[in-house]
Every structure is written in structure tokens, then in C-alpha cells.
Amino acid sequence: MKILTLNQASLITKLAVTKLAQYLKKNGLHHIVLGISGGLDSAVMAAIGLRAIKLLKTQGYECGYTFDFIGIESNPNDLKKARILAQELGFELNEYDYTDWYRQSPIRQNEHHNSPRLRVANGNLKCRIRLLHLYDRAQLLGGIVLDTDDLSELLMGFWTKHGDVGDVKVIQYLTKEEVRDLGEILDIPAVILESAPGDGLGVTDTNQAKDQLKMDYLKTDYVMSRLIGSGLDYNGETSQLSSHFLVGVINQIASEIHEPTENVFHVARQSLKTAFKRKYGDDVAILLEDRKEMGLPELGYLSFNEIYLEAITRSN
């Protein structure tokens, strides 16, 4: 494990499973729907969902699941990883390919070809097609869609409004590395745990988040925690970055993590320019919202910074 202790990972897993089971039972819900991407977050949510269903069964409450891989110009390796996950965790994986439907969409055939933001627009459209599928299944089965967003993505604005979201969030306030550590005790296959995070949407040639952020999530989380602790309002204006004090902090951070100063500025700008996506929330249930309840330090605190800087140093 890189960030969590075994005790922390066990506590968080127990909280996640228990709270999801309680939420389903309290609201009379008997089905969960989840998009399996072949990536880390959906893999961890699949494991938590299955454990919640098992817990409910011991209480005499029946709950089913629908776990779907929805391919849209997807990398074949993503489907392979999804199949490996299904075999490892013992669930049925439904497979769909909407590539032709996506390519024939009249939306793409009009304005998309000449836009400088073509790749992002196409990626957003793919996300929203996936969500159409998931919410259709949830409606037909009288269930809910599980959300797969994490804290690292929240800070960077790496999710699609009305796209890769769901009815209930469980791992929203866990960083990518904390989610990865959970994956170790949830029996997530190594091929998924060791894969570089990405969206599979074709926004970059490699589909890796690192290519858009100029550094990995471990470092971006540290950057944001240090800046938040130094007074940055990550839901505020980009003009904050012209502050002499924050410029000095950014220079110091760059030295600490051995990255060019411009790369640290890039991460800060990425967060601030996507602030509009965070300001008003998504109006969904968040089951694990208090990091203290999970035994974890808040961003901006020295204890968070020390843990992450040590992990960065070990990984260099």
C-alpha cells in the first residue's frame, strides 16, 4: 500500500459496504447498476457493491446487480481487464459496443469536425452515451446507478457533467491512490491496480490522465493540498495565481516534488478553470463525505502533506 495502512483500508471498506447497504435498504432499492470500464474506480465500486449485496442478503433483503462494459471506440485492453475483474470477483459482465451508434450520431456529423475542442467534445459525448445506457437499465430494473468519481478527479475537474456520474457517491472523497490501496484488500486484479489512470475517451493519444496533467495523481494531490493549506480557494478565480505568496509556494512545491514550476502552475490552473463544475454540486447522495470518519487527514493539513510527500519520494 502506498498511502493507507491496512487498518485504514479495512475501516473504509467496512464503512463503504455498510453505508451502501443501509442506503439501499432504507430507500427500498433492490438493484444497483454500474459501468465497468476496466479501470480502477469502477473495479473498486464493483467489489463494494457486491459486498453490500452480500451483507443485505444476510439481513433477508434481496438486491440484484447489473454490471455492464459499454465500449465506444474503446481500447481492447479495457475489455480484457473488465473480463479479468469479472472472473476474479465472480460476477456476470454484460458487454455492449455502441461505436457505430456514436459514429453515426447527427450531433457529431454537424459541428464536431471543425472545433478545436473536438477531442474533449467527443469524449464528453461518449460519457453521456454510456450514462444513457446505465440510467435506462436502472429505470427498467428499478435500481440506481453507482457513481465512480474520486477526489483526485474532483480536484482536477476530470469528470463529465451529466456524463460519468451516478445516483450515489461512495469514493468521492478518497484520492486515486487511496482508492488503489482499497483495491489491494478488495482483491482487484494486479493488471488493473498497476494500470495508469485514464478515461479511455480518446482525449489524448494514450488516454492517460498524466498526459493532460503533466504529472501523476499522487503529485497533483500533493500540489493541491499544499496550495489549499496555503490559502488557495480551489473553487475561486484563476487570478489567485498571480499572488506573490502563492507564486513562492508553487516554486517551493516544484522543488519538493522535482517538477518544473510550470507543471505545478498547470495543475493549479486546471483545478481553477474547472471550478464551475464543483461550485453547485451534483445533487446526489454522498455516503462517505467525512475524511475524519474514515481516519484520514484533510487536504491542506500537514499530516496529509507528509504522507503524500513521503510516497512521492519513495516512487521517484
What mean pLDDT is predicted for residues 250-268?
98
What mean pLDDT is predicted for residues 42-60?
98
- Confidence check: pLDDT of 156 > 80: yes
- Confidence check: pLDDT of 251 > 70: yes
Cβ contacts of 298 within 8 Å, gap of 6 or more: 291, 292, 304
At 177-195, the pLDDT tens digits run 999 999 999 999 999 999 9
What mean pLDDT is predicted for residues 223-227?
98
How far is Cα 53 from Cα 67, in angstroms, rounded to an integer?
A: 13
Lowest mean per-residue pLDDT among 105-119, 160-174, 185-199, 214-228: 105-119
pLDDT at 164: 83
- Confidence check: pLDDT of 157 > 90: yes
3-state percent helix, strand, coil for the chain, nearest multiple of 5: 55, 10, 35
- Confidence check: pLDDT of 108 > 90: no
How far is Cα 213 from Cα 253, in angstroms, rounded to an integer?
A: 16
pLDDT at 82: 98
Mean pLDDT, the chain, rounded, equals 94
Nearest to 70 by CA among 102, 46, 40, 41: 102
Cβ(77)–Cβ(84) under 8 Å? Answer: no
pLDDT at 206: 62
Q: What is the DSSP letter of 198?
A: B
- Does CATH place domain 6-199+209-315 in 3.30.420.40? no
pLDDT at 199: 67
Q: What is the DSSP letter of 146?
A: B
pLDDT classification of 120: cutoffs 50, 70, 90: confident
How far is Cα 180 from Cα 142, in angstroms, rounded to an integer?
A: 31
pLDDT at 114: 72
- Confidence check: pLDDT of 198 > 80: no
- Confidence check: pLDDT of 86 > 90: yes
Query: Which cell numbers in the block locate residue 36?
Result: 465497468
pLDDT at 181: 98
Cell numbers 498497476: residue = 194
pLDDT at 302: 97
pLDDT at 209: 77
- Confidence check: pLDDT of 312 > 90: yes
Residues 193, 195, 199, 200, Cα dihedral to 10°? -130
- Confidence check: pLDDT of 203 > 90: no
What mean pLDDT is predicted for residues 220-249?
97
pLDDT at 200: 67
Question: Percent of the chain beyond pLDDT 90?
Answer: 83
Write the single-letter amino acid at 204: T
For residue 235, how many other CB atoms are within 10 A of its CB? 14
- Cβ-defined contacts of 160-166 (< 8 Å, 24+): 160/123, 160/124, 160/127, 160/128, 161/277, 162/128, 162/131, 163/124, 163/127, 163/128, 163/130, 163/131, 164/35, 164/127, 164/130, 164/131, 164/199, 165/131, 165/282, 165/284, 166/134, 166/284
pLDDT at 109: 73
What mean pLDDT is predicted for residues 264-277?
96
pLDDT at 316: 79
How far is Cα 171 from Cα 10, in angstroms, rounded to an integer?
A: 14
Q: Which residue has the higher pLDDT, 108 or 172?
A: 172
pLDDT at 212: 87
68 in helix, strand or coil? strand
